[in-house]
Structure 1
Amino acid sequence: MAALPLTAQVAVIGAGAMGAGIAQVAAQAGHPVLLYDNRPGAAAQAIGDIDQRLGRRVATGKLADSARQACLANLQACDTLAALADAHLVIEAIVEQLAVKRQVFGELEALCRADCLLVSNTSSLSITTLAAELKHPERFAGLHFFNPAPVMPLVEVVSGLATAPDVVASLYDSARAWGKQPVHTRSTPGFIVNRVARPFYAESLRLLQEGAADCATLDALLREAGGFAMGAFELTDLIGHDVNYAVTCSVFDAYYQDMRFQPSLIQKELVDAGRLGRKSGQGFYDYREGAQRPRVQALGSDAVVTHCVAEGLPALFDGLLTRLQDQGVAVTRRPGNGVLRCGDAVLALSDGRMASQRAHDQGVQNLVLLDLALDFATATRVGISWANNTAPTAVAQAVALLNRAGLTVSALGDSPGLCVLRTVAMLANEGADAALQGVASVADIDLALRAGVNYPRGPLAWADTLGLGTVVTVLENLQAAYGEERYRPSLLLRRHLAEGSRLHD
């Protein structure tokens, strides 16, 4: 079964933001589209809103008016469910309540043609469970679009236990024909994105709870060092804490309270207080009129540095060394154990241990740990922490050296793995477990995180770049520091490390 022909009628149930967006996607692709909502006039209003959105694109020269008219000509509002009887594909995008969805699909199965594909846009409910009471569950699947559907490229094509392979293939090919980037996933809690992305929020929330740094600084590190479009606190404020917290709780419960998905008490308190983020005016940040954004913390230094010694630094730091040389800092390279010496300071990439623990274990004086950057050649900020026995003069020298490279330096408390490194390691760990359990392929997991939540690099590709040995070491040290199963390394990471292979091999 190939992609649906453009003559195939597509029906969308639910004229809210997501349903209307999906209807627009199918109509712009060239399908005749029926839009139904049980609220009188809602479907017609949604089509009017689509007309206005497309009109704004026409006005800015981003869309031809002929394309707007063609899309609108393909859209038709319906007043009854019975009007969808001849549809070839029905996509449900209504309230996330199992009983309500099951009732709708039961009615559709009795109403629609025998070869009609029945699809849910659910982001959290089991496709297998939704299909369990249908007479023909083999024609039921999930198509999880991301909001706003006309803009976001990712679509998760979700197979339930009974979904026929040719149905999955048709939905996948149809999504691609609609200009989307589809990925295959099994019906497991959170599918790909809502499962694998949990650590992005969780690690920042834990660092905040431990007092490692403030929201603005942690967000800035994820953006300016990690290359993420937004930090965790900015993003949850945008999503809405009621929504984000509910998804976290749902995944946590679905995995039988696995501590990897543990919800945050800090976020719960925001929800309890009604501080839901942008939509309520307050969240981690204050969005009310006249409110000022908190300043990002940064360290300054009056120390003068003209020379540094790179002892066996990994290639990850080549960009940093080039930047230093471009600014007139003399760089001496020699074999060693992966440190950068500057005056009294000994700088090293974190390995997941606290700086004080590592200084004690290795007998290092004046240790300053660096957080990870996506690319040290282009990063504008880096996080550091230091051991309790590190002299203030050594910290000042380390800060001055990094400033010479054009990096703003932000301090974190002596926390294992700092910010970006532990976040990336945990994202890679969750992605590896999803691949191990057959939820999706390694390639689709990386694509889903890039296309669905705009990560700068797929977490499994990032793990390959860092080296699986580095990632496993960071996770093991985090697990030892906290004494929690939350940070246990995935068997898939250990397997590839033992084999000497990469995740993408």
Structure 2
Amino acid sequence: MSALHIEAQVAVIGAGAMGAGIAQVAAQAGHAVRLYDNRPGAAAQAIDGIARQLARLVDKGKLNPCERESTVARLQPAESLEALADAALVIEAIVEDLDIKQQLLRQLEALCAETCILASNTSSLSITRLAAGLARPERVIGMHFFNPAPLMALVEVVSGLATEPAVADTLYDTAKAWGKQPVHARSTPGFIVNRVARPFYAESLRLLQEGAADCASLDALLREAGGFRMGAFELTDLIGHDVNDAVTCSVFDAYYGDLRFQPSQVQKELVAAGRLGRKSGQGFYDYREGAERPQPAELRSSAEVTRCVVEGDLGVMQPLLQRLSASGVELTRRAGQGLLRIGDATLALSDGRLASQRARDDGLQNLVLIDLALDYSSATRIAITWARNTTIEARDQVVALLQRAGFNVSALADLPGLAVLRTVAMLANEAADAVLQGVASAADIDLAMCAGVNYPLGPLAWAERIGLAHTLHTLEHLQQAYGEERYRPSLLLRRTHAEGGRLHD
């Protein structure tokens, strides 16, 4: 099967922000769209809102006036469910309640033709359960858009146990024809994005709980070193802590209490206090009038550093050398285990061990560990920590070197994996497990995380950039440090590393 024919009628049920957005996308793609909502007048109001939004795009020169008029003309409010009987595709975007959605699907199955595809925009409910009990469960599928639907590129095309592959292919091709970036997913809790993204929030919340640093510093590191659009605390304040906590609890419960998805007591306290984020005026940050945004903490040094010794291959940190050289630092190279020697200090990329443990294990004096960066040649901030017996003078020499190269340097407590490295390792670990369990392909998972939540790089591609060995060792060391199943490495990571292969093969 190919994409729905342009003359096929599309129906959308639910005229809230998501339903209206989906209706706009289908209409802009050329389909006649019927929009239904059980609230009197809501569908017509939503269409008026779409018309105003498109008019603003015309005013900004981003949309042709004729395209606006034709799009609005293709949008029609429906007065009843019966008015949707001729639709080739019905997409429901109503309240996230299993019983209510199932009742609606039963009504639609009785009204619509046997060839009609019934799609749910659910973000968390099982497509298999939604289709259970229907006469034609093979026609039921998930079509999960991301908010705001007209702007966000990703669509998760989610197949339940009974969904016909041809139906999934049709919706995949249809989403592509609508200008979206679709991915195939199997119906499991959280699908792709809401499952794989859990560590992004969880690791920052845990670092905060364990006193690694303040919110502003941890957020700045994920943005300025990790390349993420927002830090975890900024993002959960934007999403709403009630919403984010509810999704985490839903995934945690669905996976029978697997500690990888364990909710955070820190976030639960915010919910209990009514500090839900931007919408309530307070969350991790204060959004009330006159409140000042806290700035990340930084280390500064007045030490003079003009040279350093490079021992061995620095792996993913190699671009740092060009940056140091460009800043006038003299580099001397010799064989070794992938370290930098700066005066009395030893600088190494974290491998998930505590700095003090690694100093003891490897016999390293004045050890300072550096965090992962998306790109060491352009990152503006980096985190460091150090072993307990590291002298202040040695630490200051490292800070001075990094300052000279143009980094703002933030200190973290000596916790395993620092901030960016442990977050990326855990994202890659969850993505690998999703591939192992047949939820989606490696390529689709990486695409989903980039297109759906704006990650700078897909988690699996990032793991390959770091090196599977380093990613795996980081997870093993995290598990050893905490003694928790939460950090257990995925079997797929272990197997791929043992085979010398690639996750995208």
- Could you tell me which amino acid in structure 2 is paired with residue 41 of structure 1? G
Deviations 1:36-85, CA, capped at 9 Å, x for gaps: 00011111111111111111111111111111111101100112111101
Deviations 1:308-365, CA, capped at 9 Å, x for gaps: 0110132422321111111111011111111101011100000000101111111211
Aligned to 1:399: 399
- Cα distance, 1:370 vs structure 2: 0.2
Aligned to 2:334: 334
Aligned to 2:83: 83
With over 3 angstroms needed to count, the CA separation of the structure-2 counterparts of 1:345 and 1:384, relative to structure 1, is: same
**Secondary structure of 2:143's partner?**
strand
- Could you tell me which amino acid in structure 2 is paired with residue 479 of structure 1? Q
Structure 2 residue 157 is matched with structure 1 residue 157? yes
C-alpha distance in 2 between matches for 1:277 and 1:52:
29
Contact 1:464–1:504 (CA under 8 A) maintained in structure 2 = no
Structure 2 residue 242 is matched with structure 1 residue 242? yes
**Secondary structure of 1:310's partner?**
strand
Aligned to 1:173: 173
Structure 2 residue 479 is matched with structure 1 residue 485? no
1:274-423 pair list within 5 angstroms: 274-423=274-423
**Secondary structure of 1:494's partner?**
helix
Between the aligned residues of both structures, percent identity stands at: 72
Aligned to 1:68: 68
**Secondary structure of 1:230's partner?**
coil
Contact 1:116–1:139 (CA under 8 A) maintained in structure 2 = yes
- Cα distance, 1:504 vs structure 2: 1.3
- Could you tell me which amino acid in structure 1 is paired with residue 461 of structure 2? A
Contact 1:125–1:189 (CA under 8 A) maintained in structure 2 = yes
Aligned to 2:101: 101
Deviations 1:262-301, CA, capped at 9 Å, x for gaps: 0000001111111111111111111111110011101000
**Secondary structure of 1:489's partner?**
coil
Deviations 1:110-137, CA, capped at 9 Å, x for gaps: 0111111001000000000000011110
C-alpha distance in 2 between matches for 1:315 and 1:467:
8
Structure 2 residue 57 is matched with structure 1 residue 50? no
C-alpha distance in 2 between matches for 1:213 and 1:168:
45
C-alpha distance in 1 between matches for 2:275 and 2:135:
44
- Could you tell me which amino acid in structure 2 is paired with residue 198 of structure 1? R
Aligned to 1:432: 432
C-alpha distance in 2 between matches for 1:231 and 1:296:
12
Deviations 1:437-490, CA, capped at 9 Å, x for gaps: 000001000000000000000000111111110011000000000000000000
C-alpha distance in 1 between matches for 2:344 and 2:57:
58
Aligned to 1:272: 272
- Could you tell me which amino acid in structure 1 is paired with residue 466 of structure 2? L
**Secondary structure of 2:409's partner?**
strand
Aligned to 2:251: 251
C-alpha distance in 1 between matches for 2:214 and 2:200:
16
Contact 2:146–2:155 (CA under 8 A) maintained in structure 1 = yes
- Could you tell me which amino acid in structure 2 is paired with residue 340 of structure 1? L
- Could you tell me which amino acid in structure 1 is paired with residue 392 of structure 2? P
C-alpha distance in 2 between matches for 1:141 and 1:129:
11
C-alpha distance in 1 between matches for 2:68 and 2:269:
45
Aligned to 2:222: 222
**Secondary structure of 1:279's partner?**
helix
C-alpha distance in 1 between matches for 2:65 and 2:315:
51
- Cα distance, 1:155 vs structure 2: 0.2
- Could you tell me which amino acid in structure 1 is paired with residue 382 of structure 2? V
Contact 1:146–1:452 (CA under 8 A) maintained in structure 2 = yes
Question: Could you tell which deviates more after superposition, 54-63 or 246-255?
Answer: 54-63
Contact 2:154–2:181 (CA under 8 A) maintained in structure 1 = yes
- Could you tell me which amino acid in structure 1 is paired with residue 430 of structure 2? E
C-alpha distance in 1 between matches for 2:314 and 2:54:
50
RMSD value over aligned CA atoms? Answer: 0.6
C-alpha distance in 2 between matches for 1:196 and 1:140:
24
Deviations 1:391-438, CA, capped at 9 Å, x for gaps: 000010000000011000000000100000000000000000000000
C-alpha distance in 2 between matches for 1:423 and 1:52:
41
TM superposition outliers: structure 1 runs of 4+ over 6 Å: none
C-alpha distance in 2 between matches for 1:283 and 1:381:
24
C-alpha distance in 2 between matches for 1:500 and 1:140:
40
- Could you tell me which amino acid in structure 1 is paired with residue 491 of structure 2? L
TM-score scaled to structure 1, two decimals? 0.99
Contact 1:313–1:340 (CA under 8 A) maintained in structure 2 = no
Aligned to 1:200: 200
Structure 2 residue 192 is matched with structure 1 residue 212? no
TM-score scaled to structure 2, two decimals? 0.99
- Could you tell me which amino acid in structure 2 is paired with residue 145 of structure 1? F
